[in-house]
Amino acid sequence: MSLMALREQLNGLVNSMFLEGLLDDQFEQLQMLQDESSPGFIAELITLFCGDSERILAELTKLLDQAVVDYQKVDAFVHQLKGSSSSVGAQHVKLACVQFRQFCEEHNKEGCLCALNVVKHEYYLLRGKFDTMLQLEQRIQAYESKQQI
């Protein structure tokens, strides 16, 4: 695939993520922070976000598996995930966390379990697209490096 085709594919993917609401303005702001002095900024941020999110989702799964749920701890983790998803522009994940917190407030275990599934669904959907995004970026960078030689 040519360099132009790769770039078109990447742009198309990112645009579709904006149109579907997976990403919001915040991600666009972050894209503007990437430049020649920090070319891997977005990739680094996505990697940090994914690592942190999966850690939090694992903790939430454990907490909600308990007979007696510590809703304070659950809420603290959901708050963290809401914060980081907001910071990277992961809109659907953020909104799912908002819902989740409401169930925490109500001490509604069933609601929390449902909400956790929604958050996981939204996160893994986003993560799949992020993976594709990063792969395309790597291929583009490899192409550009070859051209410079």
Partner 1 sequence: MSMEEVEEAREEGSHGSMFEGGVEVRVLVVDDSPVDRRVVEGLLKRSGAMFQVIAVDSGKRAMEVLGLTEGKEAEQPTVDDPKIDIILTDYCMPEMTGYDLLKAVKEQSSQKPIPVIIMSSENEPQRISRCRAIGAEDYLLKPLQTNDVLRLRDYVRPTALSPKTGTKRKIAIEMMAENSGSERRPCLAGLAVA
State which residue, 79 or 139, has the beta carbon closest to partner 1: 79
Shortest separation between residue 38's beta carbon and partner 1, angstroms:
7
Q: Which residues pair with 90 in a beta bridge?
A: 23
Binding site for partner 1 (CB under 8 A): 26, 29-30, 32-33, 35, 37-38, 41, 44-45, 48-49, 51-52, 76, 79-80, 82-84, 86-89
Dist. CA 7–CA 29, nearest whole Å? 20
CB of 110 to partner 1, least distance (A): 27
Asked if 119 and 56 touch (Cβ cutoff 8 Å), the reply is no
Using the minimum distance from each CB to partner 1, give the nearer residue, 87 or 132.
87
In whole angstroms, the minimum distance from the beta carbon of 131 to partner 1 comes to 17
Cβ-proximal residues to 144 (8 Å cutoff; 6+ apart), any chain: 3
Least distance in Å: CB of 52 to partner 1? Answer: 6
| Inter-residue long-range contacts of 99-106, CB under 8 Å, 24+ positions, other chains counted | 101/75, 104/71, 104/74, 104/75, 104/78, 105/75
In terms of CB distance, is 76 or 114 closer to partner 1?
A: 76
Name the one residue in this structure whose structure tokens are 């694992």. 58
- In this structure, the number of other CB atoms found within 10 A of the CB of residue 120 comes to 17
In 10 A of CB 70, how many CB atoms?
11
- Nearest to partner 1 of 6, 82 (CB atom): 82
In whole angstroms, how close is the CB of 56 to partner 1 at the nearest point?
Answer: 10
When the beta carbons of 6 and 17 are compared against partner 1, the nearer one is 17
